């Protein structure tokens, strides 16, 4: 029979190595777990039942939106977030309408406006108004090349709509909290009132959610990850449920 003896020095080394491995695991979990874990919680209390919600993934087709030098396109980010958000809402009982279900702009649906962009925006407004939705959420990505330090989600609402402002603030607050669990340095953006075409010309409350800045390195790396897009959709979904409970 062989008997193995470990010196105190070896035991200390082994324990130190064990602590290092545990520390690395915890750091990876903290960094990745925030947005890569599949959400387990969904609303099951009928708060979305009989609610009609329009999800509008901005841009599409020849209108790529913001694009970076490596080919990452805003239209694709918007669409992936919108599709997962639609899935979550429908599973919770909502009647969810998406303005585009493929990679195309919507200018062909409207002849109002002198430019293709205005025709596209008018088509989105018409779809929202015709749906008689309770509210809408338009998904976009921001960019500000003049200052690469600016980052984080920003939510816009029409200043003359109290319900839109309330919806925007709920979503903004939720995204601020969750993004700051990931950011190295915290960033608190405020919901802003703007008279953007789609906000001004729609009949129901609605918001534009800019999910981050492609011009910021930290946001860019996050937006380039598939699971982070699902994370954004999930946080918007949670915020919409919070809004309906007010």
| pLDDT confidence tier of residue 7, bands split at 50, 70 and 90 | low
User: In this structure, how many other beta carbons lie within 10 angstroms of the beta carbon of residue 72?
Assistant: 16
pTM: predicted TM-score of the whole model, two decimal places: 0.85
Angle at 63 between CA 112 and CA 226, to 5 degrees: 135
| Strand runs labelled E in 60-196 | 95-98, 135-142, 154-157, 192-193
Number of H helices, E strands in the chain: 7, 6
4, pLDDT greater than 50: no
Can you give the pLDDT at residue 35? 52
**Got the DSSP string for 6-59?**
--HHHHHHHHHHHHHHHHHHHHHHHHHHHHHSPP-----SSTTTT-EEEEEE--
22, pLDDT greater than 50: no
Can you give the pLDDT at residue 185? 87
In this predicted model, what pLDDT tens digit does every residue of 108-143 receive, in sequence order?
999 999 999 999 999 999 999 999 999 999 999 999
> Strand, helix or coil at 213?
strand
Token couple for 199: 């906000």
In order of 8, 31, 152, 167, 181, the CA distances from 214 in angstroms are: 53, 20, 10, 24, 19
Half-sphere exposure of 30 (CA within 13 A, CB side): 11
31, pLDDT greater than 50: no
Please compute the mean of the pLDDT values over residues 76-101 and round it to a whole number: 98
In this predicted model, what pLDDT tens digit does every residue of 35-61 receive, in sequence order?
544 556 899 899 999 999 999 999 999
| pLDDT confidence tier of residue 3, bands split at 50, 70 and 90 | very low
In this predicted model, what pLDDT tens digit does every residue of 178-229 receive, in sequence order?
999 999 888 899 999 999 999 999 999 999 999 999 999 999 999 999 999 9
In this predicted model, what pLDDT tens digit does every residue of 151-192 receive, in sequence order?
999 999 999 999 999 999 999 999 999 999 999 888 899 999
**DSSP letter assigned to residue 183:** -
Alpha helices, DSSP H only, in 132-196? Answer: 162-180
Return d(Cα 127, Cα 132) in angstroms, integer. 9
| Partners of residue 139 on adjacent β-strands | 57, 209
Name every residue whose Cβ is closer than 8 Å to that of residue 239 and which is 6 or more positions away in sequence. 170, 171, 173, 174, 175
């Amino acid at each position: 029979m062989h008997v193995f003896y470990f010196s105190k020095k070896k035991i200390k080394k082994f324990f130190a190595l064990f602590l290092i491995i545990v520390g690395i695991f915890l750091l990876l979990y903290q960094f990745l777990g925030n947005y890569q874990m599949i959400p387990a919680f969904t609303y099951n209390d009928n708060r979305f039942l009989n609610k009609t919600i329009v999800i509008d993934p901005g841009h599409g087709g020849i209108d790529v939106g913001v694009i970076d030098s490596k080919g990452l396109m805003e239209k694709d980010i918007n669409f992936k977030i919108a599709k997962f958000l639609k899935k979550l809402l429908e599973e919770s009982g909502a009647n969810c309408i998406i303005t585009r279900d493929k990679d195309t702009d919507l200018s062909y649906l409207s002849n109002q406006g002198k430019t293709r962009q205005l025709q596209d925006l008018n088509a989105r407004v018409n779809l929202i108004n015709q749906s008689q939705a309770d509210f809408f959420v338009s998904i976009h990505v921001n960019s500000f090349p003049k200052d690469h330090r600016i980052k984080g989600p920003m939510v816009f609402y029409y200043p003359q709509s109290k319900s839109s402002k309330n919806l925007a603030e709920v979503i903004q607050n939720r995204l601020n909290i969750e993004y700051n669990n990931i950011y190295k340095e915290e960033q608190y953006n405020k919901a802003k009132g703007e008279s953007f075409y789609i906000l001004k010309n729609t009949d129901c409350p609605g918001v534009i959610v800019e999910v981050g800045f492609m011009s910021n390195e930290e946001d860019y790396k996050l937006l380039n990850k598939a699971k982070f897009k699902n994370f954004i959709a999930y946080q918007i979904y949670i915020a919409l449920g919070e809004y309906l409970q007010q």
